[in-house]
Amino acid sequence: MLSCKDDLSPEAIAIKEGVGSAYPYFRSGNITTPIHGVCNYYTTYSDVEIDACGAHCHGNKKVIRTWQILDWCNGTVTPCQQIIKSVDTEAPTFIVKDTIISTAPWYCEGDFYVPNPWELHDNCDINPTWTVKSSVVGVQIVPALLNGAPHPVYKYRAIGVPKGSSHLKYTATDCCGNEVTIISSVTVVDKTPPVPVAKRDIVIGLVGGYDATGKPDGTAKLYSESIDNGSYDNCSAVRLEIRRVNKGVKSDNVTTDAPSCGNLGNGNPQYNNNITFNNRLAANLGNNMPYNTNDTDGGLFVKFCCEDLTSAGADFDGDGTLDVGYHMVIMRVWDDGNMDGIVGNAGDNWNDTWANVKVECKVPPVITCPADATIHCDWAIEKFVSSSATKSIAGVDFQKTGIPEAYGVCTNPEIQFRDREVTDQCGIGFIERTFVVKEKDITRTCVQRITILPSTSAQPWVTSVPGDWNNVEQIGCDEPTAAQIKAKGPTNVGGPCDVIGVSTKIELFNFEDGVCKKWKVEYKYVNWCTNEERGPFYKYFMYSDEAAPVVTCRDTMYAVDVNCELKGLQLTNKATDTGGCIDNGWLKWTVIVDLWADGTDDIEYTSFIAPNNDVSNMRNGNFDAIRDDNEKRNTGCICCTYSQWSSDTCQQHYPAYYSRQDEQSQSSMESNRRMSQLRYMPFIIHGSRQEGTNTGVCTIEYRIDAGSRRVRTIVANGRIVGYRLHEQVI
């Protein structure tokens, strides 16, 4: 049997297989000799070829060779047949490589295109075939497709190759059925990172706590589980670790690391655990982000604090600017890719995602009242009595009653207070003091009760009057004011809790029709607490018109007639008074005449005599006041003429005034108040020439009385020249 590519000529077969296989032969001993040309034998042949391995299996065939042997000597031809088989008995050759693939994203098995055999060759078949099988039951080897059509490169695709090592059995076969099998190793490893799933937006609230130095600070711990939203891996469990983004912007626009918020690790100073995951891979990576040998939190949590309320660490709204109060947290998810049973070490796979964390502080403030207090009514404490309004405690002394304590997370809330006072008239009772803090629209209150007891002091109630108590206070025309009454009244010094009430009553006394006034103020006092009364006490106030009326006179000379007489002379004058509390008060006058200017008053006229006193009015020249049923009825004047003065009546009534009556004249005095005109008052002036002179002198004195000791006196001199009476006003 020859190979598919062998030469089938007898010569080639003789060379390869020997003479016995190539020609008809005869044997002499161990020597085989072709019969052709020996002893007149001659041979020839013809071939009939039949495919040995099927159609189109090139070079593989069976040849039926028919030999014709001619015996030249006797001329006979003897046929014989030889079967020559030229087939491929050599299997194809090829090379395969071991394969390492990763698991699929969705399950822990490998799906891959099976690598084609490399250098697939057959000595006869120009296109030997190959197949492949998996050593693992259940693995599917299916034709490789691309977009529904046979893949242009790969023939097969393996589906569901389990994680780990397995084998693929490649078998190559030529057209003659020769086949060869080669085993390749397939290792399916987990090179697919886990799938991180996170909540994008998280709100975390701070609670009361302390920072690393013991100072009160709001704090919150965010665990990786709070961010995770179902992260998973296709082959193993996953491990979560988180850290904060290590750069942010504070409220003053200073870029800085995320604060530790008390999450401190090893080292001096202590390491900020917030900015790295953990220390697990620090040996492999060095102390580079995001691992550090001093990190001690294992990546299990990060912390937030009050500083995060006012700093910016995440672009929440996507406008390119970091937003205040928002901070980014990175979550890393590990698998056990190397299948060593430790999730999250070298050789394992990881994947990152992030979440925005909004930091808030909604914890209500806390306030604690001081203990209930007891004070005495004479203790001075500041109060703010109100039903709703409040006042800050800043600047208020709470030493006697105690001060509250209040705190809030991240703030020191302002404390305000208001009081509800329930006391009797002496200040005994209690104060219900409410302290209030308000923060984040949340109000908290506490109530302290302050009991007020009577004073322990023995101070008596003392009432005293001023040193000028008996002086009458000069004031204006209006009644004394409350301030004047208080200032000039008695003073009271009561006990520490006494409540002294005062009652005042004013009585008005008008003088001269109200020109002058006097007020009598009565003071009475009562102690509210004991009902003890003091008083009455009286204090006088007055208005006294100290300004006298104003009257002016001038000296005047009057001439006598040819009979050396002066008749019908009427002298008038006016007085003005601007004082007093009313405008229509009365003015009264008195006119005194010194006829001879010798210092002796000869005649007096006055308006002080009552109208019904005729004799006195006559004597004083107040003729207008004389009743009409007397002599005035006819003449309007009594003793107005020389003959009247000579009568017994005038002599009887005026003996001292008319010792030398040789002339008669008539005058009157006019008085007014505030320039208001009064009636004329006639009076008689008698005068004569002095001895040795041609003249006589008389003096007239005007006295104007406005009441209340307000009297004005004016003296005028009269001179008679040539038996004429002159009046000179001085």
As a whole number, the mean pLDDT across the chain is 80
At residue 393, the pLDDT reads 95
At residue 727, the pLDDT reads 33
Of 312, 308, 335, 309, the closest CA to residue 323 belongs to 312
Q: Which residue did the predictor score with more confidence, 697 or 106?
A: 106
The amino acid sitting at 13 is I
Report residue 60 as tokens.
């593989």
Is the pLDDT at 1 greater than 50, yes or no? yes
Is the pLDDT at 274 greater than 80, yes or no? yes
**Among 243-252, 263-272, 301-310, 451-460, which is the least confidently predicted range?**
243-252
pLDDT tens-place string over residues 372-421: 999 998 888 999 999 999 999 999 999 999 999 998 888 888 999 999 99
645 pLDDT band (50/70/90 cuts)? very low
d(CA 498, CA 492): 10
At residue 440, the pLDDT reads 76
d(CA 343, CA 346): 9
The pLDDT of 642-649, averaged and rounded, is 47
Q: Which residue did the predictor score with more confidence, 61 or 170?
A: 170
Is the pLDDT at 338 greater than 50, yes or no? yes
Report residue 142 as tokens.
């299916």
The pLDDT of 7-22, averaged and rounded, is 80
pLDDT tens-place string over residues 414-464: 999 999 999 988 888 999 999 999 987 889 999 999 999 988 887 788 999
Report residue 69 as tokens.
């042997």
Is the pLDDT at 95 greater than 90, yes or no? yes
At residue 574, the pLDDT reads 78
The pLDDT of 658-664, averaged and rounded, is 29
Q: What share of the chain is helix, strand, coil (3-state, %, to 5)?
A: 10, 40, 50
Report residue 108 as tokens.
């822990």
715 pLDDT band (50/70/90 cuts)? low
At 21, give phi and psi (nearest 5°): -100, -10
Report residue 374 as tokens.
């007891």
Report residue 52 as tokens.
């040995």
Phi-psi domain of 694 (left: phi exceeds 0; alpha: psi -120 through 50; beta: other):
alpha
pLDDT tens-place string over residues 469-514: 999 999 989 999 999 999 999 999 888 888 889 999 999 999 888 8
Of 596, 615, 624, 706, the closest CA to residue 654 belongs to 615
Is the pLDDT at 634 greater than 70, yes or no? no
- DSSP assignment string, 509-523: EEEGGGTEEEEEEEE
d(CA 339, CA 420): 75
Q: What is the pTM of this model?
A: 0.54
At residue 522, the pLDDT reads 96
Is the pLDDT at 640 greater than 60, yes or no? no
Residue 171 to residues 120, 130, 131, 591, Cα–Cα distance (Å): 11, 5, 5, 172
Is the pLDDT at 711 greater than 70, yes or no? no
pLDDT tens-place string over residues 581-626: 887 777 777 778 777 778 888 777 776 665 556 555 555 555 555 5
**Among 79-93, 506-520, 653-667, which is the least confidently predicted range?**
653-667
| SS3 label, residue 651 | helix
pLDDT tens-place string over residues 98-135: 999 999 888 899 999 999 999 999 888 888 999 999 99
At residue 707, the pLDDT reads 52
At residue 32, the pLDDT reads 78
Is the pLDDT at 701 greater than 60, yes or no? no
Q: Are 367 and 406 in contact (CB under 8 A)?
A: yes
